[in-house]
Amino acid sequence: MRYLVNDKLRGSDAVSKSGYHHGDLRRTIVAAAVAAIGESGLDGWSLRELARRAGVSHAAPAHHFGDKTGVLTAIAAEGFTLLAEALEAAEADFLAAGLSYVDFAVKHPVHFAVMFQPGIYRADDEAVQQAETRAGDVLRLGAKAMAAGSKAAPEHATLAAWSIAHGFASLWLSGALRVPPGTEAVDAARPVLHMLVE
């Protein structure tokens, strides 16, 4: 297996020979897209810019992703997988799961923003659907634990739990909350989530 980082080999004659195939373009592009979106917002990036960063031609990304939407679809799929993993680690405890949800959103704000932005990616994509239902299953499982201690309907409890965690995370990321500087999102979320479970 040949790993070729273009910038490092620049200047050698081997570039023209081995530089044709990047080797790991797909992952490189996704990572670059996440970074670019993090810096400049959801539409502050271009396929050509990603290509430039990766040191490939301007049309190379389209080969792997079809179009711009394809890159966002890949990010969404990655996001739902990461979320599922985070929630699975918290097991069937609402407070822990809720904090994990917030923690995921804060640590992967770009993924989070893409995932819940309807229409900007292909929600019917196979990889997305798979990761999405996986995350959804863990979510429902976690909220069921909370509903057990309550006399409310489980589906209402699930929705309430999901809503409050999702809402807090969204508001936090949007910058709408005015909290003391230096506050960690998870610490700020704890008492808020606690209001739901009593």
Partner DNA sequence: TCCCAATCTAGTCGTTGTCAAGTTCGGTTT
Partner DNA sequence: AAACCGAACTTGACAACGACTAGATTGGGA
Does 183 engage in binding with DNA (CB under 7 A)?
no
Which DSSP letter does residue 58 get? T
User: To the nearest whole angstrom, how small is the minimum distance from the Cβ of residue 85 to its own copies?
Assistant: 18
User: To the nearest whole angstrom, how small is the minimum distance from the Cβ of residue 147 to its own copies?
Assistant: 10
Choose the one of DNA, its own copies, none that binds residue 22, judging by a C-beta under 5 to 8 angstroms depending on kind.
DNA
User: To the nearest whole angstrom, how small is the minimum distance from the Cβ of residue 52 to DNA?
Assistant: 8
Own/partner long-range contacts of 58-64 (Cβ < 8 Å, ≥24 apart) = 60/22, 60/25, 61/25, 61/29, 64/25, 64/26, 64/29
Give the residue with the Cβ less far from DNA, 57 or 183: 57
Give the residue with the Cβ less far from DNA, 49 or 125: 49
> In degrees, to the nearest 5, what angle opens at C-alpha 74 toward C-alphas 173 and 54?
95
Does 116 engage in binding with DNA (CB under 7 A)?
no
Does 57 engage in binding with DNA (CB under 7 A)?
yes
Choose the one of its own copies, DNA, none that binds residue 164, judging by a C-beta under 5 to 8 angstroms depending on kind.
its own copies
**Cβ within 8 Å of residue 157, ≥6 positions away:** 143, 144, 146, 147, 150
Contacts with its own copies, residue ranges (CB under 8 A): 41-44, 113, 116-120, 123, 150, 152-153, 156-157, 159-160, 162-171, 173-177, 188, 191-196
Q: Tell me the Cα Rg of the chain.
A: 20
How far apart are the C-alpha atoms of 198 and 186, rounded to whole Å? 18
